[in-house]
Amino acid sequence: MSSWQGILRKDLRVEFRTRYGVSAVIMFLLITVAVILYSTPGEQLQPSILSALLWISLFFGAMTGLARSFVSEEERGTALLLRIYANGESVFIGKLVYNLALMLALAISAVLFFEFFFTRDFHIRDWPAFSVQLALGAIGIAAVSTILSALISRASQKGALLPILALPVLMPLVIATTDATRIALEVSNAIENTQGDLLILVSFDVAMVLVSYVLFDVIWRD
């Protein structure tokens, strides 16, 4: 049986060879930032607006890049081999870690883009609080994208289904992260003011990872 490390290495090799996922999310981020700059020339953007724009970019960027974690296996015809030679636990963990790595790369890139293009308005006043909520948000999005990608991998309209299914599930996470990001942009002691949001994020992440882990084998095999 293949281990999750082997599946992770396979996905990373494929990504470094094709660069589809990274290229797609980077281009999406650049287009998003360009549209925002064109739509708000010279305007001062409030932290509440910037935090919402950041997480909208992260959500749709994730839907662009993370959707193919299982879809690509079906398209290449390698999904059957995975079902034969790897157990569901290894496949889930390997894909989850890969999606998390891609999501963290997306999140870091988005923050760098926002800091560069919105230098006047995007000032992170509490980096520890901001980093914690960014990591928790990335974990939640990666977990939801992994299980939903496996669910839709055999559907005919794969690309359109993931955002439709993911948005209602991720709504609590997006609301909490948007509020936590706004606070981190406004005050220097954000960790004290974001405890409620961080608790929601931790609870969401734990619940989604556990539920996905339990249900994955049934979804993957059937």
User: Which structure tokens are listed for 128?
Assistant: 């520890």
pLDDT digits (tens, 9 = 90+) for 81-99: 777 777 878 888 888 998 9
The CA distances from residue 174 to 48, 57, 99, 143, in Å, are 13, 11, 18, 14
pLDDT digits (tens, 9 = 90+) for 154-192: 665 555 677 888 889 999 999 999 999 999 999 888 888
Map out the domains of the chain as residue ranges.
Answer: 4-37+44-221
User: How far, in Å, CA of 94 to CA of 109, rounded?
Assistant: 23
User: How far, in Å, CA of 202 to CA of 198, rounded?
Assistant: 6
Average pLDDT of the chain? 85
The whole-number pLDDT of residue 209 equals 94
* pLDDT value at 23 more than 80: no
